[in-house]
């Protein structure tokens, strides 16, 4: 998919943020991370516990998420203070017991939770939050941050085949928590009720996308 084809996808062109493409060294880093992380998670049966069994799918999901973090990081650098993160996305492989689910990025004032949606997925334009209580990937810090204006959630759209994407929506969690008393109902059946979903259409209905006033505070 070309950059123009990516921009032409529904709602993508409505976002005020630029399309970001990863540099060759960044491509290599995130690809290596995805391969190593997928093998570790398969050996630990992490994804099998989430009913995911295909190593190629697992690797693509990890790659998509890490590309989303890189896109968010590079965009925040362009926004300048106080949004410039202290460090780039973490590409370290940790033992399963040491894996953290805290915010993906942080700056002098904000913490950033980054979610990615792949154009190759039938569920493109949706972002999932894990709410299970068994410790397997639960987004504890995200849920605790709802209502905090210094915590920011970044929703990204990613084309992992071309290593590019853009921020679709960036909103503080005080506003997100106020608008999302209840999350969207998953279109994919979730019998265990371990997932909360945000759809782009849900952001539109709640006035979070792509209304200009939602971004006024970026330049304030």
Low-confidence spans in the chain with pLDDT less than 70: 1, 42-53, 96-101, 132-137, 188-193, 211-220
pLDDT for 188 equals 67
pLDDT for 75 equals 95
- CA–CA gap between residue 210 and residue 75 (Å, rounded): 17
H-only helix segments in 13-54: 24-43
Residue 147 near residue 108 (C-beta atoms within 8 A): no
Q: What is the pLDDT of residues 153-174, one digit of tens each?
A: 999 999 999 999 999 999 999 9
pLDDT for 87 equals 95
Residue 104: name the closest of 165, 48, 153 by CA: 153
**Domain definitions of the chain by residue range:** 3-93+100-218
Residue 200 near residue 209 (C-beta atoms within 8 A): yes
Sole residue written with tokens 């993906």: 104
pLDDT for 220 equals 47
- CA–CA gap between residue 115 and residue 76 (Å, rounded): 15
Q: What's the full length of the chain, in residues?
A: 220
Q: Could you tell me the end-to-end alpha-carbon distance of the chain, in angstroms, rounded to an integer?
A: 36
pLDDT for 152 equals 94
Helix (H, G, I), strand (E, B) or coil at 117: strand
- CA–CA gap between residue 99 and residue 191 (Å, rounded): 26
Sole residue written with tokens 């925040």: 76
pLDDT for 108 equals 93
pLDDT for 156 equals 96
pLDDT for 97 equals 63
Locate 179 and state its tokens.
């608008």
Q: What is the pLDDT of residues 5-39, one digit of tens each?
A: 888 888 999 998 999 999 999 999 999 999 998 88
pTM for this entry:
0.88
Residue 125: name the closest of 2, 4, 6, 1 by CA: 6
pLDDT for 193 equals 65
């Amino acid at each position: 998919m070309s950059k123009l084809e990516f921009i032409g996808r529904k709602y993508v062109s409505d976002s005020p943020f630029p399309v970001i493409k990863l540099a060759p060294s960044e491509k290599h880093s995130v690809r290596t991370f995805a391969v190593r992380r997928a093998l570790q998670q398969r050996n630990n049966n992490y994804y099998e516990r989430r009913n995911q069994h295909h190593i190629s799918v697992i690797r693509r999901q990890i790659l998509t998420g890490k590309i989303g973090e890189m896109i968010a990081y590079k965009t925040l650098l362009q926004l300048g203070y106080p949004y410039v993160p202290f460090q780039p996305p973490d590409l370290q492989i940790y033992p399963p017991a040491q894996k953290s689910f805290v915010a993906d990025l942080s700056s002098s004032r904000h913490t950033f939770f980054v979610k990615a949606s792949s154009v190759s997925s039938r569920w493109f334009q949706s972002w999932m939050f894990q709410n299970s209580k068994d410790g397997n990937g639960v987004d504890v810090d995200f849920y605790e941050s709802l209502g905090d204006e210094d915590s920011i959630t970044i929703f990204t759209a990613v084309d992992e085949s071309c290593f590019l994407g853009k921020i679709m929506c960036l909103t503080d969690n005080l506003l997100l928590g106020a608008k999302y008393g209840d999350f969207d109902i998953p279109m994919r059946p979730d019998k265990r009720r371990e997932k909360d979903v945000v759809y782009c259409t849900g952001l539109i209905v709640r006035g979070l996308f792509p209304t200009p006033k939602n971004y006024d505070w970026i330049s304030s």
